[in-house]
Amino acid sequence: MALPSRRALAAACGLAALCVCVPLYAAPYTTVPGGLFRGVLTGNEDPPSPVARFSMRVTPVTNAEYLAFVQRVPRWRRGAVPILFADSDYLRAWAGPTELGDAVFPEAPVTGVSWFAARAFCEDEGARLPTWLEWEYVAAADATRTDARSDPAWRARILAWYASSAEANKQRVGGEPNAYGVKDMHGLIWEWVEDFNALLVDADSRVQGDAEKLRFCGAGAITMKDRESYAILMRIALLSSMNAAGSTTTLGFRCARPLPETAP
């Protein structure tokens, strides 16, 4: 008597666990081990920046995933979002507020989303946007190495994408995984990061006197450490030109989650 009931209990528990886990695993994340990293924004005299271990979405968020989000959370639908959070470019490629239409592939990365909208999606998924440093850290990997940046062939391959003008809406996510198991870091879209508005802080020449000292606290201006990383610098330039309510047809995002310091 005890055995079947225990089995039934186990089955019920398993079922319950499945129900709980299915939405969590619907979007696969992968663990990115921490490390020390010299990014393009790390000053020449600065020590490498520590990157704490975190988990990152394997692929960028797709149109289908974003559609499911706005279906569930009506206040993020096109036309319902206050202009403070998303301007008129928001999801412009979609046929309607809750309709992709024929021109937009469900499995293509969603683009035309503002920083606020991207953040809201990630928060809804129990995540956040990656920081620039986290994004750059993962983007430095190729298929076999976690840091392939010194390889001219790898750099050339990435740059080749920027020269082509593919429509993001017509391409599906799910390219080759890099050494961390993360896909589509290059070659598909530009991606929002949490600190997008902090990457380039420029001096304004209209200011009289010692502009640097007057307008900036941290006197250390950004020094571009590795001028050969054009592809990365282009991303910084693009993100810096955006405002938080804006978007473009090639700008999408993926989410990240912090992890406890030590492995569980």
Binding site for other proteins (CB under 8 A): 41, 43, 46-47, 49, 82-85, 115-116, 119, 128, 194-195, 197-202, 204, 206-209, 213-222, 243-245
Task: Tell me whether residue 104 or residue 199 sits nearer to other proteins (CB atom).
Answer: 199
Counting Cα atoms < 13 Å in the Cβ hemisphere of 100 gives: 20
Min dist CB 232 to other proteins, Å, is 16
Task: Tell me whether residue 81 or residue 100 sits nearer to other proteins (CB atom).
Answer: 81
User: What is the DSSP track for 74-143?
Assistant: GGGSTTTS-TTT--TTTTTTSSBTTB--TTS-TTSBP-S--HHHHHHHHHHTT-BPPPHHHHHHHHT--S
- Pairing state between β 190-191 and 251-252: parallel
Task: Tell me whether residue 42 or residue 178 sits nearer to other proteins (CB atom).
Answer: 42
Min dist CB 215 to other proteins, Å, is 5
Task: Tell me whether residue 9 or residue 207 sits nearer to other proteins (CB atom).
Answer: 207
Counting Cα atoms < 13 Å in the Cβ hemisphere of 249 gives: 12
Report yes or no: 70 and 97 within 8 Å, Cβ to Cβ. Answer: yes
| N-terminal to C-terminal alpha carbon distance within the chain | 37
Task: Tell me whether residue 147 or residue 195 sits nearer to other proteins (CB atom).
Answer: 195
Which of 248, 240, 234 lies closest to 114 in space, CA to CA?
A: 248
Min dist CB 165 to other proteins, Å, is 29
Min dist CB 81 to other proteins, Å, is 8
Min dist CB 203 to other proteins, Å, is 9
